[in-house]
Each structure stands twice: as C-alpha cells, then as structure tokens.
A and B are shown apart, each in its own frame.
Chain A
C-alpha cells in the first residue's frame, strides 16, 4: 500500500480536521455502493479507508510516523460490501417490489419483449403460453384491512372472486390470486389476478405500521383526577384508566390492541393521545376559575416566545 498521507492527499503535518475532511471527500467520491461495478473506485475506497484508519487515530498515526507500523499491517478484515448481496439473489429482499413478489412480472417481461409478441396479438407459436395477469383495485374499509376480511369482487366479465384480505393488510398492497387472470394459450396455465388494496381512511383510527393511533377526548375532570374511560379499538371497546394529572397530549398505550399478529409479525399497540375538552359553559367552573390562584402559575405559550 502507498503512503497513507499520499492516499488521502494531505501533508505530513495536516491537522486531524484536515484528515477528516480529506477522507470524507474521497469516501463520497469512491464509495462502492455509489459506484457499483467500478472496481477502480472500490480499490480506491479500500485504500482511502485503510489510510484513514491509521491517520484518524492520533496514536496509530504517531506510530506510523515513527515507523513502528507499516501501512499494510493495519488493514482491518474486509467485510463483504452491501453491493455483494444487493446485486445477487438476497438483494430481492430490498427491491422495490418486496421479497414476496416474483422477480419478473408479466409487465416487466412485456416491457422488454412486448414488441416481439405485440400486445394482445396472437402468439405465433404452438407451445403453451401462460395467460396474462389482470390488475384490479379493491376499495377496502380500514377495519377490514386491519382485522382481515373476505370481500367479493365482481370482475368486468361477470365472474366473482372471493378475495381474502389478510389481517394487517397495508394500503397499496397487492394480493395475488393464482390462476384467476386471463386463460392460458395452447393449454398453458392461466395468469394471476393482481388485486391492489385501497384502504379508506377511518374517522377515528390512524394506522402507523402495526400500531394504531387515535385522539381520545376526555373531560377536564378525567384529565386532572384520572378515572376509567372506554376506548374504541379495532377489536372493540376496551376500558382503561386515565392516570391522574394527565393533560392534552398525554399518550396512553394499550399493549397488543393495534393491528393483530399476522404473517410472522407480532401484534401492534394502540396509542391514545388525550385531548382535554372543556365543553359547555358551566357556572360553577366559571366561579371556581375566577377565584382560583394557581399554586404554580405556568405560561403554556412559553415555548412560542421568540428566543434571545
């Protein structure tokens, strides 16, 4: 390996800051994941990283300067880069279509070979061909998507499909019904029906991954004194206690009351954010507040004051 100072392009007496700046600049230019397939960049990145290993550590740098260690001896074991996985089969896990999709959809293949067969044209072959996939969208209620449901979908050709929506289905998720697409050719298998789920928003619940969030209105008395309240959850109403001295913005968590466990994922939680509602004018409350001298007067708008 070359002199680490030369590799980073810094002077022998460069400051640690200069070294850090030089390393970052070179690392940005040569990072292998930003230059896939560029062996030169990869080699350069390794050299830059190794040089930085020595020079960024004042102790190692001093030992190198004194000739106690050479540039080579300090190379760390090289880990396989992310690219080694991402370009190969395991990388499908992080592909845009997700790991459960087949790698090549009928659309992908058509986009490359479409001009060979011509869209919809009669294939000039006697060999069996798989039928095309058909795409549909299925509007779905929020709770049906959370809890799972079976919905009947009527196709343009009059057929009906019973679509099982699994619990924990997400907006935009595509369900594949094998063999429910266009019939095959020359005895080939039928294509699949691809059903994209469109989830309608819910008036109360919001989805946050596997958690469910909602705003829970409480009275002033419930917030200050605490007390039992009923909370709607996707699985039905649940009673719980509001702790005393709660306030607007206090978040209560109900463990396991979010999206039910599904597909290897454990169940989510439900988060209720309290909203104190003062409600109708009340003579007694007015009278109390008029004479009330708070023990610890506080300005709730303190955080809005312009800073110094």
Chain B
C-alpha cells in the first residue's frame, strides 16, 4: 500500500500525469483514502505492465484499452479455471476426479 509519490520514485521516467491519466481512464484503479490514492501491489504491477506495453512493446495509448480489456478477460478466465480446479480438488470424490481426467484426456 503506497502513495502516488512513492510510486513515482519507484518508477523512474514515469510522470505523475501519466499515472493520473491512466487512473482517469480506469486502466488503474487504486483505492482512495481521504482523497489520496493508495496503490496495492497489484496496482503497482499493473502500472508497470502498462508502461512496458506502451514503452517497450509500443502499444500506443489509443490501443491500450483493447489490450488491457483482453488481458483482463484472459486473467479472469484463468482465475476461474484455477478456482474450478480447486473446487473439484476439494469436493469431488477420487473416482469422479479420475473420470473427469480421463474424459478430458480423450477430448
């Protein structure tokens, strides 16, 4: 949990206006505490990701929402698959799990 000032010092070359614009665009969604932004670890990693996409991979800011939306959907699905797998591991009897695994292997 860090403030925008700390975030900027950790990411040299990134301007406060960049981050504020990204927040305005809803690309980064930090918490707010008494009118100040508070960044969690995932928000910091996301700022870093957006910077890499923009500066290293040359995804310009017009195209970024599409890329971010696809990434968000991808991660949502992967998280769900993990949750589904976890739920099966916790609740399904062994023979059901074996049946499922056999079935998937034959697809």
Contacts and interface: CB of A to CB of B under 8 A. Distances in A.
B48 A37 contact: no
Contact of A90 (B42, B52, B80): B42
Contacts of B48: 79, 82
A90 B40 contact: yes
B88 to A, nearest CB: 11
Given A36-B78, A37-B78, A85 B41 contact: yes
Contacts of A85: 41-42, 45-46
Given A94-B29, A104-B83, A27 B42 contact: no
B72 A96 contact: yes
Interface residues of B, number: 30
B41 A27 contact: no
A133 B44 CA distance: 36
| Size category, A interface | 20 to 34
A82 B49 contact: yes
A94 B83 contact: no
Contacts of A253: none
A187 interface: no
A93 B29 contact: yes
Contacts of A83: 75
A31 B49 CA distance: 10
Contact of A95 (B40, B49, B56, B75): B75
Given A90-B41, A94-B75, A112-B84, 19 more contacts: A23-B56, A27-B57, A31-B53, A33-B49, A33-B71, A79-B48, A82-B46, A85-B42, A85-B46, A86-B79, A87-B78, A90-B42, A94-B42, A95-B79, A96-B73, A103-B80, A103-B83, A104-B83, A266-B32
